[in-house]
Amino acid sequence: MPSVASRILSFVFKLLLGLFAAIFAVSLLVAALFVVALSLLTSLFTGRNPAPAAVFGHFQRFSRQGMWSGGSARHEPVSPSAGEVVDVDVREIAEDKRQP
């Protein structure tokens, strides 16, 4: 049977461990909020979409199932079949340099 002192010491140790875990979790949350705020400020000054919004925008545009937009799924083939030849015009794509 454990003594009263060992039970108190065990309780204090568990309490300290829980406190350190809570401090660690809160510090991770604060760091994540800081990164999001910095990303939003950067996008505000540069005039571009925030990186997470741009990534999800790409997913939404190129989604084959139409999960995000609620629209119907696209059913066109991804690439032409082996015997098909697709003729395209070549054009230069300029880099987007918007001013704030």
Within a domain: residue 52? Answer: yes
pLDDT along the chain (100 residues), means of 10: 88 97 98 90 83 71 58 53 75 70
pLDDT of residue 26: 98
Residue 40 burial (CB count, 10 A): 14
Within a domain: residue 75? Answer: no
pLDDT of residue 39: 86
Within a domain: residue 42? Answer: yes
pLDDT of residue 76: 53
Within a domain: residue 13? Answer: yes
pLDDT of residue 21: 98
Three-state secondary structure call for residue 34:
helix
Within a domain: residue 23? Answer: yes
Q: Please give the model's pTM, rounded to 2 decimal places.
A: 0.47
Within a domain: residue 70? Answer: no
Q: Which domain holds residue 9?
A: 4-62
Instruction: Give 57's contacts (C-beta < 8 A, 6+ positions apart).
Output: 49
* Structural domains of the chain, count: 1
